[in-house]
Amino acid sequence: MAVGGGLLRGLVSPAGGAAAWLPCHELFASWHHWLPSLPRLRPPASDGFKLLLVLLLFSAALAEVRYIASSSMAPTLRPGDRAVAEKVTYLFRRPSIGDIVFFKVPTAVQNYGVNKDAVFIKRVLATPGDFIEVRQGQLIVNGVAQKEHYTATHALYTMEAMRLPEGHVFVMGDNRNNSCDSRAW
């Protein structure tokens, strides 16, 4: 179509020709200067996947979900329950009385055929230097009978008083009559 009549009237500048009417003609004339500086376009899903992967790896280093296989911690945790084992706290402090802890099976228990990769879950009841005993079904730490609202029943056994050595904690399951714990090893 001719510029003088028809549909294109007014779109082409008579002074500058076809290139002059483009609103960003100067920008396009120097495209090679700005094009390399544009960010690379990636599919949005790849960033989300990378973020998810980093979060999963990071969270695996901080915590893990554990399946409760036995009744040794009943009624607090029952078989089939799941619990999150947080892994960072004990890098900054020692276990405290009342903490529920996950740990690898002690060597003494492995000698009786328990898989070395098994993980136990118990409650910390005494820390280094404490005296601990069980008399008439009652847990006694440093001469003081403990009020344990979380146990299934009172213990049906006695345990002679002992002092915990440095670097050790004394752990027991809340189901005292059905728990393989520090009393045994």
So which residues are the catalytic ones?
Answer: 72, 122
CA 60 to CA 152: how far, in whole Å?
A: 32
- Rounded-to-integer distance, Cα 138 and Cα 133, Å: 8
The position carrying tokens 């299934």 is: 152
SS3 assignment, position 66: strand
Helix, strand, coil abundance in the chain, percent, nearest 5 = 25, 25, 50
d(Cα 177, Cα 71) in Å, to the nearest integer?
A: 10
Of the CA atoms within 13 Å of residue 2, those in its CB half-sphere come to 2
Sign of CA dihedral 152, 158, 162, 165: negative
- Rounded CA-CA distance 131/183 in Å is 13
